[in-house]
A and B are shown apart, each in its own frame.
Chain A
Amino acid sequence: MPTSSTSPSPSAPAGFSLAGMVEGVRLSLPMVPGILMAAGAVGAASAEKGLSLGEATLMSFLVYAGASQLLALQLWPSTWTWPALAALVLVVFAVNLRLVLMGAALQPYLARGMPRGTPYLALVTLTDANFVIGSRYSADGGRDTGVFLGAGLFMWLIWVVATVPGHVLGYMLTDPRRFGLDLVMPLLFTIMAVGLFRLKRDRLVWPVAAGVAVVTAQLVSGYWFIIVGAVAGSVAAGLFRRHD
């Protein structure tokens, strides 16, 4: 199946249609294997951290943001304290901050094609995946906002459902270390890093983030090094932006 063959007709009026939602589902099909794998990993990591199947599924349903779920599970405490909860929410917040850019980029497309206020409902489904689909579609001249929502709802459903077998599998393995399952999260992050790296932008930013994180990890217990290192790198990117 071709990935994006139907080019939207530029003359079509801005709006929202069921046909657009079906088109959004069609455009998200190539992403299904990746979603299944990531949701399975989240499910398995939830089981390893002692979440019940209900809690793991609830998290996938309510949060629906893979990288932040994996990171939160990495920090998941065995006993709950207010600082532990605050650190967790802060990390989730930081990891998902990239969605601010995506929401900003989609604003003209969504505001034009949907009744006032409804984009705030449609944005519940915002992820990297339907951002790519929606922004590519609107860059090609498409104006049906059903494409964005259809893709988002379809992948949300798959995300929640695929968490279940991952959790069951993770729960059944009695010795997860032997199969390297404790390394799934660091490995997925390594893979993400390779995909995210842009030489011009990151050759200065990444050493700053890594160096600050390593030093912080030596000085402060817990997972604060993630937040401190990430903020340092991000500010560095803002400061260095003219030196490209």
Chain B
Amino acid sequence: MTDWLDQGLIGPISAIIAMAAATYFIRVLGYWIMGREPLTPFVRAALEALPGAIVVATIVPLVVRGGISAWVGMACAAGTMILVRRDVVGLAAGLGGAILVRALGLP
């Protein structure tokens, strides 16, 4: 019985269910709060900046750790996005840059 608890309880499926539960909770949270009292300016500003902060906190350490192909790929993707503003084109440019660097035998 305890074996089942230790081995069977956590794994991909339970992770997916936990992710889904957390996401549903967030989906209804804002609606629920607004039905009672509005968000404070501090919370509003913090929430507005959160997506960008997460993305930056994710990619900058990865860039610091990554190889030349990652640097070139991300620079190509960012540069293309600034110029063209189309996700698909940015991704293609980034992958193209990274594949090229790796074809030259660099990490």
For A69, list chain B residues within 8 Å (CB). Answer: 19
In the complex, which of the residues A180, A183, A234, A240 contacts B47, with contact meaning CB atoms closer than 8 Å?
Answer: A234
A106 to chain B minimum Cβ distance, whole angstroms, is 7
Q: B16–A63 contact, CB under 8 A?
A: yes
For A81, list chain B residues within 8 Å (CB). Answer: 10
Indicate whether B1 reaches chain A with its CB closer than 8 angstroms. Answer: no
In the complex, which of the residues B42, B51, B56, B88 contacts A210, with contact meaning CB atoms closer than 8 Å?
Answer: B56
> Interface centre among B24, B31, B35, B42, by most A CB within 10 Å?
B31
Closest residue of chain A to B94 (Cβ to Cβ) is: A187
A110 and B98 alpha carbons, distance in the complex (Å): 45
For A193, list chain B residues within 8 Å (CB). Answer: 52, 55-56, 59, 78
For B106, list chain A residues within 8 Å (CB). Answer: none
Give B65-107 as 1s and 0s: 1 = Cβ < 8 Å from A's Cβ atoms.
1100110011001100110010110110011001100100000
Decide: A190 near B30, CB < 8 A? Known: A33-B88, A178-B102: no
Q: B26–A80 contact, CB under 8 A?
A: no
For B48, list chain A residues within 8 Å (CB). Answer: 98, 101, 201, 237
A55 and B81 alpha carbons, distance in the complex (Å): 32
Give B57-69 as 1s and 0s: 1 = Cβ < 8 Å from A's Cβ atoms.
1111111111001
Q: B34–A92 contact, CB under 8 A?
A: no
Give A197-240 as 1s and 0s: 1 = Cβ < 8 Å from B's Cβ atoms.
11001100110011011101100000001111111111111111
For A74, list chain B residues within 8 Å (CB). Answer: 58
Q: How large is the interface on A (under 10, 10 to 19, 20 to 34, 35 or more residues)?
A: 35 or more
In the complex, which of the residues A88, A192, A202 contacts B15, with contact meaning CB atoms closer than 8 Å?
Answer: A88
For B53, list chain A residues within 8 Å (CB). Answer: 205-206, 209, 229-234, 237
Q: B31–A63 contact, CB under 8 A?
A: no
For A47, list chain B residues within 8 Å (CB). Answer: none
Mostly, the A contact residues are helix
Indicate whether A153 reaches chain B with its CB closer than 8 angstroms. Answer: no
For B60, list chain A residues within 8 Å (CB). Answer: 209-210, 213-214, 229
Q: A225–B16 contact, CB under 8 A?
A: no
A196 and B44 alpha carbons, distance in the complex (Å): 16
Closest residue of chain B to A179 (Cβ to Cβ) is: B99
Indicate whether A29 reaches chain B with its CB closer than 8 angstroms. Answer: no
For B95, list chain A residues within 8 Å (CB). Answer: 179-180, 183-184, 187
A235 and B47 alpha carbons, distance in the complex (Å): 9
Indicate whether A34 reaches chain B with its CB closer than 8 angstroms. Answer: yes
For B88, list chain A residues within 8 Å (CB). Answer: 33-34, 37
Closest residue of chain B to A188 (Cβ to Cβ) is: B91
Closest residue of chain A to B58 (Cβ to Cβ) is: A226
For B28, list chain A residues within 8 Å (CB). Answer: 103, 120, 123
Q: Which 8 residue pairs of A and B lie closest in terms of their CB atoms, listed nearest first?
A: A229-B57, A103-B30, A233-B53, A237-B49, A104-B30, A62-B20, A213-B57, A238-B46
Offer 14 A-B interface pairs, CB within 8 angstroms, sorted by A: A69-B19, A88-B18, A95-B54, A103-B26, A103-B27, A103-B28, A104-B38, A120-B31, A177-B102, A178-B102, A183-B74, A193-B56, A230-B50, A232-B57
Partner-B contacts on A (CB < 8 A)? 33-34, 37, 51, 55, 58-59, 62-65, 67-69, 71-72, 74, 80-82, 85, 88-89, 92-108, 110-111, 119-120, 123-124, 126, 177-180, 183-184, 186-198, 201-202, 205-206, 209-210, 212-214, 216-217, 225-241
